[in-house]
Amino acid sequence: MAMRENDPFRNFRFRVEIDGINQAGFTDVSGIDATIDPIEYRVGNDPTHFRKLSGLTKYSNIVLKWGSTNSLDMYNWIQSALEGKIERKNIAIHAMDEEGGDVATWSVEAAWPQKYTGPTFDSKGNAVAIEQLDLAHEGIKRTA
């Protein structure tokens, strides 16, 4: 069944593209947000409240999670950063429709690995081993 124009996107239908990295499916993507800090300003003869001006824009880290596999593509990027060789990459996060076509895209500019978290192992569990990468970046734009 095709999506109608105003149907909301499903949060479980997505794919991630990272410049030069071919990674199998991600389980989670979070941190797609931007905040503009307010600057409070008051002139001495103003009423007893502040005016608010726009200040600096801040972006949260993008957090990617994926099931551990034999692929070292993501880890090699992380390892380079740990060795002081920061390699910035552009990332595209695509929401998809039921047929697998792209319906919305968020472009992340100049991302680089800021934090890596390896899997948690539990001998009593039966879950997939999950790795996590926090990416610092210089901006997000919704392009479609």
Q: What is the mean pLDDT of residues 2-6?
A: 66
Q: Any idea how long the chain is?
A: 144
Distances (CA, A) of 16 to 31, 50, 93: 14, 42, 5
Strands 51-59 vs 14-18: parallel, antiparallel or unpaired: unpaired
Tell whether the model's pLDDT for residue 23 goes beyond 80. Answer: no
Higher pLDDT, 3 or 7: 7
The phi and psi torsions of 75 (rounded to 5 degrees) equal -65, -35
Cβ neighbours of residue 85 closer than 8 Å, sequence gap 6 or more: none
Closest CA to 93 of 108, 78, 110: 108
Q: What is the pLDDT of residues 27-81, one digit of tens each?
A: 999 999 999 999 999 888 877 888 899 999 999 999 999 999 998 889 999 999 9
CATH superfamily of 14-142: Hcp1-like (2.30.110.20)
Q: Can you give the pLDDT at residue 141? A: 96
Tens of pLDDT, residue by residue over 76-105, are: 999 999 999 999 999 999 999 988 899 999
Residue 62: burial class (beta carbons within 10 Å; 0-12, 13-18, 19+) = buried
More confident residue, 46 or 3: 46
